[in-house]
Amino acid sequence: MRVQLVPPGTGELTYEIRNIVNVAEKLQKCGVTINWENIGDPIVKGEQIPAWMKQIVSDAVMDNDSWGYCHTRGVLKTREFICETTNRRAGAQITPDDIIFFNGLGDAIAKVYGCLKPEARVLMPSPSYTTHTLGEVGHAGTDSLHFRLNPEDGWKPDMVEMRSQIENNPSICAIMIINPDNPTGMVYSKELLQQIVALADEFGLFVISDEVYNNIVYNGETTVPISDVIGSVPAIALKGISKEFPWPGSRCGWIEVYNGQNDDQFRKYINLILTSKMNEVCSTTLPQVVIPAIMQHPQYQDYLKERIALYEKSSNITYNFLKKVPELLVNRTNGAFYMAVAFKEGVLNNSQSLLIPDNDVRSLVESLVNQPGVSPDKRFVYYTLAATGICTVPLSSFATSQQGFRVTLLERNPAETERIYSTLADTIRQYLKSSV
Ligand SMILES: Cc1ncc(COP(=O)(O)O)c(C=O)c1O
């Protein structure tokens, strides 16, 4: 090409959560049974949607209005309902005009970063959910700026590094957090959130808080939405129904804008996000229409509680098996449905492997892991997948150099969860011992 088409550093970005699926599918063809512990889709893991919820959706389908375009910002009645829910907490107060619906948070994330000028950078957690990192790096055309979530401190953010990054990079315009966090399952305390808001205030930044897992917390935790502590600092919260209903296939999520009028630059930026949505007319109407009826249904809270209890159980089973492996840094998760497990420094190397009896499977894995530049945790994940069928994701694919893996906590049968994680713990021990 006469002209370079992609920004430097972005051409090789991959989305490992999906890439690993291609490999697992090839292994399936070779006869390996796969446990899908890689992707955060409760439906794939057999979640049964209750009949009452399906009834609400099918009633909405029979109404012609759900077939039309809606307002660019989203269905007004639904925005009013969401607005009341947020305002009732007595933190940041919003109007329906401070809410914009998107076709899933994936769409919202793309626009939130895409509408910033390339020089305006968002400080990201590391590790981080890939869609955020890819969105930010894609818009800036250069490496991400991040603060570390520390596996030796329950994956809490390194606040010293956060401050120093902000001080040293005048291009940083915002701090992004995911609360509860993907991939670590860490839940931010109110104090941490207050410190983050104070930093944003001190340096004239805004805050982006991805709260898609906000109502999925356990082990006695509660989540504090950023709206509770934001004061007068401009902020965007991202919320959705993919994980909570759960309806990931609805492609429906929204942003709530706090203090949208407090800064002229921020007001123009939000207006640009709205204009880019206007270009598409609106987001899908049907899932928006059913949100108030589903969330207010008498069985909704019990259904959510039941699912959360399952994630709590699954999390604690996973924690109890993996914490017995001394070479791992394992933290209890308190929210969302993921656990990030780190290997201690120096325990992985590129001569470790596992016995794979099937010749086709072995040669497939060896051809993949022996390519130049494959990270040690990716090698571990591929060997484990081929030897046991347990499909995890390398932690290094979540914008971190920290070696490890991420699993989901969505398995519905506790006996199967026990089998998976006792197998995984044994496999890790074997793998680490296999160094030549
Ligand atoms: C932290 C986080 N934000 C956003 C999303 C995307 O959600 P959606 O299905 O609404 O695009 C995910 C999906 O896994 C996620 O983990």
Same fold, 16-47+301-433 and 68-295: no
Pocket mutation for ligand 1, best pick of 16, 131, 179, 250 (most atoms within 8 Å of C-beta):
131
CA of 150 to the centre of ligand 1 (A): 22
**pLDDT 10s digits, 343-367:** 999 999 999 999 998 888 888 889 8
Q: How far apart are CA 167 and CA 33, in angstroms?
A: 50
Burial (CB count within 10 angstroms: exposed 0-12, middle 13-18, buried 19+), residue 1: exposed
Report which protein residue has its CA nearest ligand 1's atom 14: 40
Pocket test for ligand 1, best of 111, 215, 243, 311 (most atoms within 8 A of CB): 243
- Residue 181 alpha carbon, nearest atom of ligand 1: 1
Instruction: Please identify, by atom number, the ligand 1 atom nearest to the C-alpha of residue 40.
Output: 14
Give the residue, by CA position, lying nearest to ligand 1 atom 13.
40
Higher pLDDT, 156 or 435: 156
Out of 39, 100, 242, mutate this one to test ligand 1's pocket (max ligand atoms within 8 Å of CB): namely 242
Residue 99 has pLDDT above 70, yes or no: yes
Could you tell me the pTM of the whole model? Answer: 0.95
Q: How confident is the model at residue 3 (pLDDT cuts 50, 70, 90)?
A: confident
- Strand 206-210 and strand 172-178: the pairing is parallel
**pLDDT confidence band for 86 (50 / 70 / 90):** very high
Say what percent of the chain tops pLDDT 70: 97
Alpha helices in 244-322 (DSSP H): 264-278, 285-295, 300-322
DSSP letter assigned to residue 49 = P
Burial of 197 (0-12, 13-18, 19+ CB in 10 A): buried
Task: Identify the band that residue 88 occupies on the pLDDT scale cut at 50, 70 and 90.
Answer: very high
In angstroms, the CA 359 to CA 351 distance is: 19
Do 385 and 30 form a contact (C-beta atoms < 8 A)? no
pLDDT at 84 over 60: yes
pLDDT digits (tens, 9 = 90+) for 52-76: 999 999 999 999 999 999 999 999 9
Bridge partners of residue 394, in order along the sequence: 405
Cα–ligand 1 centroid distance for 34 (angstroms): 23
pLDDT of residue 12: 54
Note the pLDDT tens digit of each residue in 284-330.
999 999 999 999 999 999 999 999 999 999 999 999 999 999 999 99
The 10 Å Cβ neighbour count of residue 180 is 26
Pocket test of ligand 1: the residue of 211, 212, 238 to mutate, having most ligand atoms within 8 Å of its CB, is 212
Q: What are 204-253's pLDDT values in tens digits?
A: 999 999 999 999 999 999 999 999 999 999 999 999 999 999 999 999 99
- Predicted confidence at residue 17, as pLDDT, reads 67
Per-residue tokens: 196: 């983050």
The CATH architecture of the domain made up of 16-47+301-433 is: Alpha-Beta Complex (3.90)
Kindly list the domain boundaries of the chain, sorted by start residue. Answer: 16-47+301-433, 68-295
- Tell me how far CA of residue 296 lies from CA of 53, 344, 400, in angstroms: 11, 46, 40
Taking residue 359's Cβ as centre, other Cβ atoms within 10 Å add up to 9
3-state secondary structure of 258: strand
Give 212 Cα–ligand 1 centroid separation in angstroms. Answer: 7
pLDDT given for residue 15 in this prediction:
63
What mean pLDDT is reported for the chain?
94
How much is the pLDDT for 82? 98
Is the pLDDT confidence value at 370 over 80?
yes
* C-alpha 106 to ligand 1 mean position (Å): 6
Would you state the pLDDT for residue 132? Answer: 97
Q: Which residue is it, tokens 């995890």?
A: 392
Whether the Cβ atoms of residue 255 and residue 112 lie closer than 8 Å to each other: yes
Radius of gyration for the alpha carbons in the chain, expressed in angstroms and rounded: 22
Q: From the alpha carbon of 107, which atom of ligand 1 is closest?
A: 11
- As a whole-number percent, the residues of the chain with pLDDT over 90 amount to 84
Q: Measured between alpha carbons, how far is 303 from 276 in angstroms, rounded to an integer?
A: 36
Give the confidence band of 4 by pLDDT, cuts at 50, 70, 90: confident
Nearest atom, ligand 1, residue 213 CA: 1
Residue 23 has pLDDT above 90, yes or no: no
Residue 364 has what pLDDT?
86
Strands 390-391 vs 156-157: parallel, antiparallel or unpaired? unpaired
Of ligand 1's listed atoms, the one at least distance from the Cα of 106 is 11
Is 264's pLDDT higher than 80?
yes
Which residue ranges have their beta carbon within 6 Å of ligand 1? Answer: 40, 104-106, 129, 178, 182, 210, 212, 240, 242, 248, 253
> Which CATH code is given to the segment(s) 68-295?
3.40.640.10
Predicted confidence band of residue 161 (pLDDT cuts 50, 70, 90): very high
pLDDT at 429: 97
Residue 9 clears pLDDT 80, i.e. is over it:
no
* Residue 10 clears pLDDT 70, i.e. is over it: no
